[in-house]
Amino acid sequence: MLTNGLKGIVAAETAICHVDGKEGRLIYRGYEIRHLTTNYSFEAIAFLIWHGYLPTQEELTNLHQQLVRNRFLTQSLKTIIDALPDEMDMMSVLRTAISAEGTKNYSWKPTISQAIRLTALTPTIIAYRQSRLQKKEFTEPSKRLGHVENYLYMLHGEKPTKTTVNALETYMILTLEHGLNASAFSARVTASSESDMVSAIAAAIGTMKGPLHGGAPSGVIKLLNEIKTEDRARHLLKTKLINGEKLMGFGHRIYKTHDPRAIALKGKLLEMIGENNWLDLAIHVENIAIDLLSELKPGRGLYTNIEFYAAAIMKAIDLDSDLFTPTFTVSRMVGWTAHIIEQSENNTIFRPQSEYIGEVKKATLDLPNK
């Protein structure tokens, strides 16, 4: 049976993540996502995704030390990034820099050590490139800070506030894995040929770069910028809905009920009310929008998705719009590498068939007269 885009086709078995769109559940290695975001750090959940169980304190400390050791760029990698043209977008820079990592250290089979190396390196590549574009001195990685806090530290050149770290860390936990999405599938297809982890990650980055997959939540940013203040929200949102306009940040292709990631992220942000104006505005706008959608579009099942709050967080931490998708990639590196390792453990090369729909023509031989 032909299914365009393989929609609904089961292409792999996995123990990493379960996305239940009908019931609105997201499960990492057996744990509901709301439990993980409440109780564990990004590093702890990365460990869970890679190993299949939550770490002891000693294992968590060891992972932190491994991430720290792998944060620093070699001079050769800096030289490669420096040589890239300024107009090259950040995802393409990241893809190129990661490809430059493709040495014999990444030969088949993929390992967790390789996964840790690429996960640690990704935020440093982004921060280094950003500093060069901004003509600023690069802030070298910290040897003490956690993964998310260190990323913000390198980008802004100063230690971030606890509020911004908590907000971004929650977002990154919620986006580090999401089943067999387009980029994870790309990674698994490449790995299934017994290519190296770097090649599989480069394929995933190339897929994430596409606007239909990893596109930045710029539409939500535009909406919040247009509303500006809480008192303008109801009138402006109602006008848009009456005029048939789509409210960006509401509805999801997979989740037919509440996006569990949005619920978990909102729960964390509610703890921060009064600490950031953009986060406060986003929470207010969401409440108004859900009321209006229920009133004006009854039965449509349009709920807030994670991109709505992702946009608010990116705006709140003063992240440039061209860093939205790269930041998504910083977190998703964990999920990609886990899929690559899982693929290698029971590998069969992906080899789907295509259905030919072209013509079958009879060839004629037209020779010149003798």
pLDDT above 60: residue 235: yes
Helix axes 112-133, 324-345, angle to 10 degrees: 160
> Does residue 224 sit in the same domain as residue 112?
no
Q: Are residues 117 and 167 in the same domain?
A: yes
pLDDT band at 167 (very low <50, low <70, confident <90, very high): confident
User: Amino acid letter at 213?
Assistant: H
Active site annotation includes 252:
yes
pLDDT at 315: 79
Q: Prior bond to 109 cis, omega within 30?
A: yes
Q: Residues 354-367: what's their mean pLDDT?
A: 79
Q: Using DSSP, state whether 122 is helix, strand or coil.
A: helix
Please give the pLDDT value at position 203: 97
Of the candidate ranges 47-61, 219-233, 263-277, the one whose mean pLDDT is the lowest? 263-277
Based on the residue annotation, tell me whether 101 is a catalytic residue of this protein. no
The lowest-confidence range among 3-17, 159-173, 217-231, 332-346 is 3-17
Nearest partner of 106 among 289, 341, 361, judged by Cα: 341
Q: What CATH number is given to the structural domain containing 243?
A: 1.10.230.10
The Cα-based distances of 322 to 56, 117, 133, 326, 343 in angstroms read: 37, 24, 12, 8, 32
Bigger pLDDT: 140 or 105? 140
237, pLDDT greater than 70: yes
Domain of residue 169 covers 39-212+323-345
| Count of domains observed in the chain | 2
Q: Is the dihedral of CA 103, 105, 109, 115 positive or negative?
A: negative
Residue 85: predicted pLDDT:
97
DSSP at 73: P
Among the options 286, 307, 339, 342, which is catalytic? Answer: 307
- Dihedral sign, Cα of residue 265, residue 232, residue 294, residue 223: negative
Which one of the listed residues 252, 286, 339, 342 is annotated catalytic?
252
Are 189 and 247 contained in the same domain? no
Q: The CATH number of the domain where 92 resides is what? A: 1.10.580.10
Question: Cα-flanking dihedrals φ and ψ of residue 53, to 5°?
Answer: -150, 160
pLDDT tens-place string over residues 240-255: 989 988 887 776 555 5
Angle formed by the axes of helices 90-99 and 75-83, to 10°?
140
Residues 137 and 183 in one domain: yes
Residue type for position 114: Q
Q: How far is CA 282 from the centre of its chain?
A: 21
Question: Any idea which residue has 């406060």 for tokens?
Answer: 280
User: CA separation (Å) from 253 to 111, 220, 258?
Assistant: 33, 17, 12
pTM over 0.85, yes/no: yes
Average pLDDT, the chain: 88
Q: Lowest mean pLDDT of 50-64, 270-284, 316-330, 347-361, name the range.
A: 270-284
Domain shared by 119 and 248, yes or no: no
